[in-house]
Chain A
Amino acid sequence: MQIPIEYYLILSAALFMTGIVGVLIRRNAIIVFMSIELMLNSANLTLITFSSYLGNSIGQIFVFFVMAVAAAEAAIGLAIIIALFRNKLTVNLDEINIFKW
């Protein structure tokens, strides 16, 4: 028996929402970035699932690109965090918001 595609898709949707929750409730900028990585990974899981079930490799090539993008985004994001940490000595998003509405 084959695993129905729904299982993979629901798992990926669950991971995606976990990532969203992480972005919404966490105040530590680094953990917010890790949650964003989780969101990208859930999209990767969807892409690979479809790629495997449809039997074409576009999805896997896309995932390969997404990995490069995610690495670059993590590098930039963490560099920004370090630059900010030098100025403010905190990575807590609640203390960072000097901007008003």
Chain B
Amino acid sequence: MNIDSIISDLIFIKPEIAIAATLVLIVLVDLISPKSKTALPYISLLGIAIAGVFVVQQFGTAEFAFKTSLSSGMFAADDFGSFFKIIVLLASVFVIFFSISSSEIKSVNDHLGEYYTLMFGMILGMFFMVSASDLVLIFISIELLSLSSYVLAGFVKNTVRSSEASLKYVIYGGVSSGIMLFGISLIYGLTGTTNLYEINSIIQIQSFPHITFLIATLFITVGLGFKISAAPFHFWTPDVYEGAPLPITAYLSVASKAAGFAVLIRFIKITFINSIDHHGNWELLNIIDWRSIIVLLSILSMTLGNFTALWQDNLKRMLAYSSIAQAGYMLLGIAVLSDQGLTATMIYFIVYLFMNLGAFFVVMLIANEIGSEDIEDYKGLGKTMPFLGVTLAFFLLSLAGIPPTAGFIGKVVLFIALVDANMIAVAVIALLNTVVSLYYYVRVLKNLYLVQVDEEKPVIKLSFANGFVIILLAAPILIFGVYFTPIVNFAKNSINILGF
């Protein structure tokens, strides 16, 4: 490997370079004109747009960049990675819109430059995560994402709640990354390499102690399970989601989770694959029973998330538990261990992006007005905030999976994949969970519309820009709910993971 090949490989990391350059630009702009903060969101949006163009251009490539050996490299530029980069970028655009109108972020206006810098740190980390095919890069990019999000979770530092959330996050995060690193070190010891492709080719031919490999893999799963907030590694989730500023909560629940899923899928598929048959079923090496592990994680996440959400009074906290449950549904698609299941998970992610961000955004706008996220304080809001009430109801119904919304399509595709793989029992458990989840979503609706309030409150107006953002989030849910061919095709076309 020489300097020429490094330079020629730069073409594969154009989106990452765009993001990194924007990060530096934001720091510089903030240094040069420390008084004016209005330009920062637009610079960020511009950087994201440029990165987005590069990502779209990259669709169709399947190449290794930064090769560490003849047949494998550090960074896999493929459609699977590009898909998750699009998800991350879409989430970033919306979260920047959220940040512009969030009253929590306005209260720290002096530090807006740092805010957007750290946000781009997160994006950069996630970009590397979704494309990394080497455990070294996986570990470092996860840390890049985590360190930036620890700070952002505690960004409104003059509130105790935010600081405590961030302390809790950094302690749990530090422990889980320590455990993950120990797992990685064991895998390196067993195989002598950190590249996923090389590990795969070594474990295909060599015999070695399975139990050590199992322990090492479980340790790595702890680290990844922390990132996707799957039970039983979810303990940080409710506290951090409740304590962090709302735009960051929304971002953690969508983008950070997406990146974690991408790493998990790539890790399982590349490292343990033996062959893929013509139906697209993954034949995994007979070392670790991945299906049982993931089904276990998934059922735990769904059940724990949904049942704990039942008695939450804070809507942010309830959405946190709901997002744990949603992670459980998405894990089901991976547990199928086939291209069909992977497609289902990816479709679910597109839908989840819009509905979860939408729900958090409406909660944020309501909190801006009434200063509370308590479900009891939502009584009668359906009358005083008619538009917000209707859209919140719509997003929550989509999260629950009620028919005309895209949330329904996401769940149906998942259940079909489960049934096709003969995992009927798991499908039934997931279905029962959906029924349970209906209860706590509908409880919010009940407070919005059915509870009578005596005092007459004035109708609160919504700014045009915020209404537009809500429509941008709600329209896809409605459209994909009835006309879902485009997202299905998009997901189907982007399941190509390099090498298989």
Contacts and interface: CB of A to CB of B under 8 A. Distances in A.
A62 B193 CA distance: 11
Interface string A57-101: 011011001100100110011011101101110000100111101
A83 B182 contact: no
B151 A47 contact: no
Which of B166, B181, B185, B242 lies at the interface centre, i.e. has the most chain A CB atoms within 10 A of its CB? B185
Given A36-B175, A39-B175, A50-B189, A99 B238 contact: yes
Given A39-B175, A76-B151, A66 B192 contact: no
Contacts of A101: 308
Given A56-B192, A80-B150, A80-B166, A98 B178 contact: no
Given A58-B193, A99-B243, A29 B167 contact: yes
Which of B158, B159, B181, B239 lies at the interface centre, i.e. has the most chain A CB atoms within 10 A of its CB? B181
B321 to A, nearest CB: 11
A99 B239 contact: yes
A43 B163 CA distance: 29
B254 to A, nearest CB: 22
A39 B163 contact: no
B147 A80 contact: no
Interface in B141-168: 143, 147, 150-151, 154, 157-161, 163-168
Interface string A27-63: 0010011001001101110110110001010110110
Contacts of B140: 65, 69
Contact of A65 (B136, B182, B308): B136
A82 to B, nearest CB: 10
Contacts of B41: none
Mostly helix, strand, loop or mixed at chain B's interface?
helix
Contacts of B139: 62, 65-66, 69
Nearest to A49: B189
A16 B168 CA distance: 21
Nearest to A75: B147
Contacts of B143: 69, 72-73
B182 A46 contact: yes
Category for how many chain A residues contact B: 35 or more
A54 B108 CA distance: 51
A42 B171 CA distance: 18
B297 interface: no
A99 B154 CA distance: 15
Given A29-B171, A99-B242, A36 B178 contact: yes
B202 interface: no
Interface string B297-320: 000000000001000000000000
B186 interface: yes
Interface string B416-458: 0000000000000000000000000000000000000000000
Given A39-B178, A39-B182, A96-B164, 9 more contacts: A16-B178, A36-B178, A43-B178, A43-B185, A59-B188, A61-B136, A72-B147, A73-B170, A87-B158
14 contacts: A29-B167, A50-B188, A59-B188, A65-B139, A69-B143, A72-B143, A76-B150, A79-B151, A84-B154, A84-B163, A93-B171, A96-B164, A97-B164, A99-B168
Interface of B: 136, 139-140, 143, 147, 150-151, 154, 157-161, 163-168, 170-171, 174-175, 177-179, 181-182, 184-186, 188-189, 192-194, 238-239, 242-243, 308
Interface of A: 9, 16, 19-20, 23, 29, 32-33, 36, 39-40, 42-44, 46-47, 49-50, 54, 56, 58-59, 61-62, 65-66, 69, 72-73, 76-77, 79-81, 83-84, 86-88, 93, 96-99, 101
